Structure 1
Amino acid sequence: TITGSLFQGNFASGSGGAIYHTVGNLKIDGTSFLTSTAFRSGAIYAEGTITISKTKFSQNANYDDGGPHVITAKGTITITESEFTNNISQRGAGMAKLTGNILISDTKTANNDYGLEIDGTALLQRVSLGVVPFNNIDATTLMTSGSVQLIDSTVSGGTDFGGTLRNSGDLVVERTAFSGLAVFSAPIANSGTMHFISSLVSQSIGGFAVIVNNDNAVMTITNSTISGNTANNGGSDDSVISNGNNGTLTIANSTITGNEASSAITGDGILLNNSIVAGNVADFSGTPTTEIDGTLNPSSSNNVVGDPASAGGLTHGKNGNIIGVGGAGRLDIHTVLITTLGNNGGPTRTHALIPGSPAINAGSNALAVDFAKIPLAFDQRGMGFARIQNSTVDIGAFESNLTPPSTLTLTLDRTSVLEGSLPHIVATVSRSGSTASSLAVTIMSDSTEVSFPPTITIPAGKASTTFELQGVDDGIVDGTQTVIATVSASGFTSDSQSFTVIDTDATNGEGVLIFDDVSRTWRLGVPNGTGLNWFQTNPLPAATNGWQGFVGDFNGDGLLDGMALNMSNLRFNFYRNTGEGTLANPVPAGALSTNFTWDNFMVGDYDGNGRAEVMAQIVSTGLGQGAMRSQDSSGVSRFYVTLNTGYEELITGDFNGDGIDDVVGLFDNVTQTRSNIIPAISISTPVGRRFTSILGSGQFGQSVATGGLHNLTVGDWNGDGRDDIAVQNTNGQIFTATTIGDARINAPGAQNFVVSARSPRLDPATYSNLFVAGNFTNDAREDLMVLRDTNQLIAAISNVNTNSGDAIPDGSVEQHLEIWAEGVSNGEDIIVGDFNGDGLDDVVALGTTGVMSLSGGSEFSVGLNFGNVIGGAIGNINGAGAGRVI
């Protein structure tokens, strides 16, 4: 025990300039260590149980360039009410390296060359941490590699070429303020697991970022404010918050505003809930910046994002998200919050919301949870400031007791309208608050593209009314235009919605991309108004097991591309669509392992990043059996789920309506009397998107093995935004299964399949071709189309059962046959797409020549023969799709 002592000017050639202790207990109280020096551990080297209280360490030094510290301690360590100032270390964490079980409280560090290194289980509470300039690449204020809690503390100051907080372990930061940090890289960097709770990062400067969640790391930011920081590396890729490759970053109930960088948030897959990302700037002049550079997790909900052009893929009005001004113009941050950080209570400063802020009561109570999914009791300010007031949580880190303003809400029944054609958009304007009196509403939009009433009135006693937006036929080819409609009224906040006006004067609709595995070539068909212009690639080399072609938007640019798989060596080649009517030369895109046998190939966007992937299943026995893996155009492989290898058929579709592709399969029961419908739904997990299988989701009353179920086809038959399926048995009877059954808790939006036989029977004697799906009529329901052997195009038009008095579930599908075209040669391949850009699907029949049949909503036009297909008749289509090609 050492009490009330002074160690000054001591020197050791080894470790511990003042004290070297290796056995037993060491207790130091009320003591000063000044100007002591050692080759390593300038002041103290100690092992065992070490207790330091009310002690000062100043101007101690060591000179080993291999990683020493002023204090090195191992064991059970307690430091209270002490001070570390002006200590010098050549390299390493410098001030102290502590290993073991550690408690530090009410302690200050300041003006040290380096900081504190923790390796163990530690609690740091009410500490003040800081460093000074030393221009050394390893300078760090706090480095953690164990299980550490930093609570009720401050971290400030320091200009160096290292960092302020570096975590490679498990770190919880709570009720702590970081300010005035300036580093070459990023002040806060996580390579492990970090939970940032009820804390503030302000007035700090980083190079490429202020906060970085490194590759494969996990970070949550909850109830926190990131404000007034700067990231500037002299380029265009700096950001305030950066998420690395395969990093898992969740931001909830937080406010990110007033920062200066090329973007506020960078990275893909970030989950953003109940948060404000707005009012950030690109430079000191206040130029608005990119708010989110990357694609957020599509389930991100109830956020205020200032810029619709950089909202991370979020859509205004979907999942409670408020994007810009009604999804159109950039939001003025002064209409959301007070832009100056204020002492509004609690240990850290916050941005208070202003009256009328769109963030008031606009959050989701269910999403107001911490990293352990425990509901938040308080906002960033802590005890005494309830997280939920006035029944609904506010968006952002600050919870107000303000009531939400009276608002107008504009909704549209569709997102596009044709020039001069039906159907028009039916718009509904709704008001909140009292309906005692009538309300005059002003409508504003682009009158050169759409016609609309300048004013409408919501009658007394009514909360809403409707009006129409009609596309104007301007007679010029100006392409599809994005138009904004805004509704406003005195005393109400306005609302806007954007939609597109499709140019019916234009000649270009969708095109086709086909892989012919006989000629081993790709054929690209570009629409020209009366048919298709063709482009053909050079043939691929012959392969013993042949080639498989896949069509999709593999690079996320909105155009159809091709992926070709050599079935002998399992190597992919990527054919990028140039957007100019051609395909670029193929480039390698990775390979599947030749150690396995692969089957059940599909194409879809299974992780929601806007880029299609090729999915396949390992069907060989042994290691990896049943694994579903995807390959993208950059050669990246992803694992999604392990499924039984006994599925009769698997197919891709969006079966829970979240905009991300899933898989559904048919699996015969043991007695082969029925076929089970088993979806595998893509969900967000801490390690990225994965599939979750949902058993007991429905079944067909016949099987694939004995009933001959075949031609499994996907389409939204009832127009509810969730895909359904259809099959056909040996006798030609069509069965549908719609996703209108009981909700399943396994995945958001998932419901059971309800099977119906209220579809036609296609007699095999005259229907030898398979049916295809498309939206051929003026509704949101997809239909079936088949080429009959009698050279007719026959449609099975979908309707929804609404007779609640019968025994058929409401919302299930009924289909009836209609003749839509005559004179289409049997044996030709038909491809569905919107080839004239009118919003309705059409059909192209391909043989030696091509014939296009355009939908008029109730029948096809007379077929347009647009001549020979380049390269001659297609030998065998092995991968085809319709979509945007230029």
Structure 2
Amino acid sequence: MTIDAADPSPDPGDGIRIFDVTDPTFGADSPLVTLKGLTLRGGDPLDGFGGAIRSAARLDVRQCTFIDNEAALSGGAIYATAQLDVVDSKFQGNATSGLGGALYLNLLDESATITRSELSSNRSAADGGAVHGFLMRSDLAVVDSAFSDNAAAGGGGAVQAHLSDRSSLDVDDCTFTINRSEADGGALAVRLDDSSFVLNRSVVHGNRSEGDGGGVFAKTVAPGVNPFPTPRAITIAKSVISGNTAQSRGGGVYSYNTTATEGLIEDSRITGNVVPQDSQSAFRNGGGVYAYVVSPHTGENKPTFTIARSTIDNNQADHEGGGVFVCSKDSGNVVFLQSTISGNQTLDPVTGAGGGLFIAHVDNPVASVDAYLRNTTVTQNISPSGGGLATANLDRVRVRIANSIVSANFDRVGPGQAPSNVAGRLDAANTKFNLVGSGSTILALDGSPGTLDSTNLLHNNAPQLTPLSDFGGPTPTHALQFGSPAIDAGSNALATHPLTGEALAADQRGPGFTRPFDVAAVNHPGRGPVDIGAYEVNLPKVISVVVDGSASAHEPYDFSTALHEGEPVVGGGNQLRTIPVGRADRIAVRFSEDVPNVSSGSLTLRALTTGALQTLAQSGGFAYDPLAHAATWKFSAPFPADQLLITLADTVTSSWGDALDGEWVNP
């Protein structure tokens, strides 16, 4: 059913609202109102609140479509002050001159959900291109929904939220693409007071802000005692933040943490974000991530910002921090744990600093920021000063690096480039078991020439890393090649979380990739067996099996894409199933480690019903890429319509002679 309330006048506020949902109980056992299967179009109420619906009672909206509704003040489609659940619905072309182009939520001790819904091309002349929320002691969950081409003249191109007094915003399995903000937060802008924000298993791509946070802007404000089991206020987990642009700070993410709060990015990839050179902003810092930690407190009340098991790659900033810019006013902790910072760049050829990572401190002459890098890889970044890592404001920045690679970073792109790895002061007494390239200007905390002890492998510009690629786990990594000096060269005692002391049981890739792992053929007296850097050499595993073909009418099927309890299966997915790849004639297998003895005879393909064996093509039947750990078998004819048995031989081993960790046979 379609209800069209459109009026012929173009002027806002001279039409009607379609539904006004009131609460006769005034909050006591409010009845539930359900709207299902409706299309609501053209609402434009005189009072300016909720173009299609104004709701003060419990409202359940299912399988509804909201098109071209308008509100002069707030809530282009829906204005809600009570519980709201939106399921399997669409919001397109709604607008407001105030807050929330599609939805406006003003909740006290309530909850709201948006599930499996699409919000596109909505507009706000203020904040929240699609959704705006004021939440006090309330919760908003956004699940499996898509936000695209929404715009706000203020903050939050798609979503703007103000959370206070134990409120929460949880965003799971969502996509945010090509949203725009004239202020902060191209996709999401969140301000938190004693509240929490979680972005989980989501994609934020191609968004733009004219201020801070091209993808995500999150800021804690005026906190008291954090009410949550852990003080974490801002969490980005298992997500991809890519291709976003901010004109000021934080092309991908802007995170601001105050007293007794934590910001965390874990198991995520921040890639291809930009703070451009032509920006008019005075800052232009933090191409991938801009993090600010500020507090007058020390000890357990210090704010902490952590990047764990994540990859920050191919981001750009004009001035400082091509990959990550971290700044502290007063006191704060910054932790980089088992992460990869690669291929980032500062653009200004004179003032650029910290191509991969820039750490600074401002204003307070007695407080300091404590920064830790543990089992982290910083490589292939570009900046004229500190291509890998740079620090500023000197003795107020205490940087301690352990079990990490800072090597093969450079001062420029192209001819004449030279190594540029570290520029600034380090806590030399607590900087140990690292692989550090030349082109480093290292000072002690007091400004005197710095000297790192013999546990560090210095002036090493050849860490022997593969190109950044998928070697297992949720994020790409640089694998250690055979003969890398980083193998078994770290310190087990330092393979821990620097603040909690918890041992690192796996490398950046996560469960299934044990840390430490002793490579029997490598022996460094007084070292190891833990590896230096984010990647730990392990037993070789099959991480992906893709079946496709040049004549296939379907998308390739990747066995590794199967899920168990919502997570990708390490080492292969659902192996016994019908594969929708008609006329497929190719199988590609990726391994977690280099397996140099894999050959054309290492894979067998058998049709279970007919028993026929497939034969390889005479030309290009087998290829192996040792840097990508990828083998490809191409067969002479498309596979028959049958159940196929794919088997890998037990003779496939790593460069160190280790056999595959578990056979890969289907079924």
* TM-score, with structure 2 as normaliser: 0.54
Aligned length: 392
* Cα separation, 2, equivalents of 1:374 and 1:309: 28
Does residue 373 of structure 2 align to residue 272 of structure 1? Answer: yes
Match of 1:123 among 147, 150, 170: 170
Match of 2:314 among 195, 214, 228: 228
Q: How does 1:482-631 map to 2 (within 5 A)?
A: none
- By how many angstroms is 1:93 displaced? 2.9
Match of 2:404 among 275, 286, 303: 303
Paired letter, 2:235? V
- By how many angstroms is 1:81 displaced? 1.1
Compared with structure 1, are the counterparts of its residues 11 and 198 closer, same or farther at alpha carbon in structure 2 (3 Å cutoff)?
A: same
Does residue 146 of structure 2 align to residue 108 of structure 1? Answer: yes
SS in 1 for 2:83: strand
Compared with structure 1, are the counterparts of its residues 97 and 352 closer, same or farther at alpha carbon in structure 2 (3 Å cutoff)?
A: farther
Compared with structure 1, are the counterparts of its residues 154 and 308 closer, same or farther at alpha carbon in structure 2 (3 Å cutoff)?
A: closer
Paired letter, 2:199? L
Per-residue Cα deviation, 1:324-381 (whole angstroms, up to 9, x for no partner)? 267654624xx342233x2333333333332233333444455443976554454444
* Cα separation, 2, equivalents of 1:62 and 1:317: 55
Per-residue Cα deviation, 1:83-129 (whole angstroms, up to 9, x for no partner)? 11111111213321232212222111111111213422132221112
Q: How does 1:11-160 map to 2 (within 5 A)?
A: 11-13=44-46, 14-23=48-57, 25-39=58-72, 40-64=74-98, 67-73=99-105, 74=107, 75-98=110-133, 99=135, 100-113=138-151, 114-118=157-161, 119=163, 120-133=167-180, 136-144=182-190, 145=192, 146-160=195-209
Q: Between 342-351 and 266-275, report the one with greater CA deviation.
A: 342-351
Compared with structure 1, are the counterparts of its residues 152 and 182 closer, same or farther at alpha carbon in structure 2 (3 Å cutoff)?
A: same
Q: How does 1:359-378 map to 2 (within 5 A)?
A: 359-366=486-493, 367-369=495-497, 374-378=502-506
* Cα separation, 1, equivalents of 2:113 and 2:209: 29
CA contact (8 A) 1:212 1:244 kept: no
SS in 1 for 2:114: strand
SS in 1 for 2:432: helix
- By how many angstroms is 1:77 displaced? 1.3
Match of 1:260 among 335, 345, 368: 345
CA contact (8 A) 1:253 1:368 kept: no
Paired letter, 2:357? I
Unaligned runs of 5+ in 2: 1-33, 152-156, 221-232, 276-283, 295-302, 347-352, 361-369, 408-419, 439-455, 520-528, 541-667
Per-residue Cα deviation, 1:25-51 (whole angstroms, up to 9, x for no partner)? 211111111111111110111122221
Does residue 480 of structure 2 align to residue 350 of structure 1? Answer: no
Counterpart of 2:518?
390
CA contact (8 A) 2:40 2:65 kept: yes
- By how many angstroms is 1:231 displaced? 0.7
Counterpart of 2:391?
293
Paired letter, 1:293? T
Paired letter, 2:142? I
Compared with structure 1, are the counterparts of its residues 61 and 400 closer, same or farther at alpha carbon in structure 2 (3 Å cutoff)?
A: farther
- By how many angstroms is 1:249 displaced? 1.2
- By how many angstroms is 1:204 displaced? 0.8
* Cα separation, 1, equivalents of 2:91 and 2:533: 41
- By how many angstroms is 1:139 displaced? 4.7
* Cα separation, 2, equivalents of 1:371 and 1:93: 37
* Cα separation, 2, equivalents of 1:251 and 1:41: 41
- By how many angstroms is 1:383 displaced? 4.2
CA contact (8 A) 1:243 1:270 kept: no
* TM-score, with structure 1 as normaliser: 0.41
- By how many angstroms is 1:194 displaced? 0.7
CA contact (8 A) 2:121 2:148 kept: yes
* Cα separation, 1, equivalents of 2:292 and 2:492: 30
Q: How does 1:423-434 map to 2 (within 5 A)?
A: none
Per-residue Cα deviation, 1:246-294 (whole angstroms, up to 9, x for no partner)? 34211111111211013122225322222122321138xxx98252224
Q: Which has the larger radius of gyration?
A: 1
Does residue 371 of structure 2 align to residue 320 of structure 1? Answer: no
Q: How does 1:700-849 map to 2 (within 5 A)?
A: none
Counterpart of 1:173?
236
Q: How does 1:430-445 map to 2 (within 5 A)?
A: none
Counterpart of 1:244?
328
- By how many angstroms is 1:149 displaced? 1.8
* Cα separation, 1, equivalents of 2:536 and 2:458: 27
* Cα separation, 2, equivalents of 1:85 and 1:105: 16
Compared with structure 1, are the counterparts of its residues 345 and 301 closer, same or farther at alpha carbon in structure 2 (3 Å cutoff)?
A: closer
CA contact (8 A) 1:254 1:275 kept: yes
CA contact (8 A) 1:93 1:138 kept: no
SS in 2 for 1:191: strand
* Cα separation, 2, equivalents of 1:200 and 1:361: 27
Counterpart of 2:445?
none
* Cα separation, 2, equivalents of 1:371 and 1:101: 31
Paired letter, 1:175? K
* Cα separation, 2, equivalents of 1:78 and 1:183: 29
* Cα separation, 1, equivalents of 2:513 and 2:388: 32
Paired letter, 1:168? K
Compared with structure 1, are the counterparts of its residues 375 and 180 closer, same or farther at alpha carbon in structure 2 (3 Å cutoff)?
A: same
* Cα separation, 2, equivalents of 1:318 and 1:149: 33
Compared with structure 1, are the counterparts of its residues 20 and 381 closer, same or farther at alpha carbon in structure 2 (3 Å cutoff)?
A: farther
CA contact (8 A) 1:130 1:156 kept: yes
Paired letter, 1:56? K
CA contact (8 A) 1:305 1:311 kept: no
- By how many angstroms is 1:311 displaced? 6.3
Per-residue Cα deviation, 1:511-530 (whole angstroms, up to 9, x for no partner)? xxxxxxxxxxxxxxxxxxxx
Paired letter, 1:398? Y
SS in 2 for 1:168: strand
Unaligned runs of 5+ in 1: 404-886
- By how many angstroms is 1:63 displaced? 1.6
Counterpart of 2:465?
337
SS in 2 for 1:166: strand
Paired letter, 1:2? L
* Cα separation, 1, equivalents of 2:505 and 2:403: 19
Compared with structure 1, are the counterparts of its residues 31 and 348 closer, same or farther at alpha carbon in structure 2 (3 Å cutoff)?
A: farther
* Cα separation, 2, equivalents of 1:121 and 1:93: 17
Does residue 271 of structure 2 align to residue 202 of structure 1? Answer: yes
CA contact (8 A) 2:316 2:344 kept: yes
* Cα separation, 1, equivalents of 2:93 and 2:42: 10
Compared with structure 1, are the counterparts of its residues 345 and 276 closer, same or farther at alpha carbon in structure 2 (3 Å cutoff)?
A: closer
CA contact (8 A) 2:242 2:271 kept: yes
Paired letter, 2:467? T
- By how many angstroms is 1:20 displaced? 0.6
Compared with structure 1, are the counterparts of its residues 82 and 398 closer, same or farther at alpha carbon in structure 2 (3 Å cutoff)?
A: farther
* Cα separation, 1, equivalents of 2:174 and 2:531: 31
CA contact (8 A) 1:278 1:291 kept: no
C-alpha RMSD over aligned residues: 3.1
- By how many angstroms is 1:161 displaced? 0.9
- By how many angstroms is 1:153 displaced? 1.5
Q: How does 1:625-704 map to 2 (within 5 A)?
A: none
CA contact (8 A) 2:93 2:122 kept: yes
* Cα separation, 1, equivalents of 2:69 and 2:515: 50
* Cα separation, 2, equivalents of 1:194 and 1:346: 22
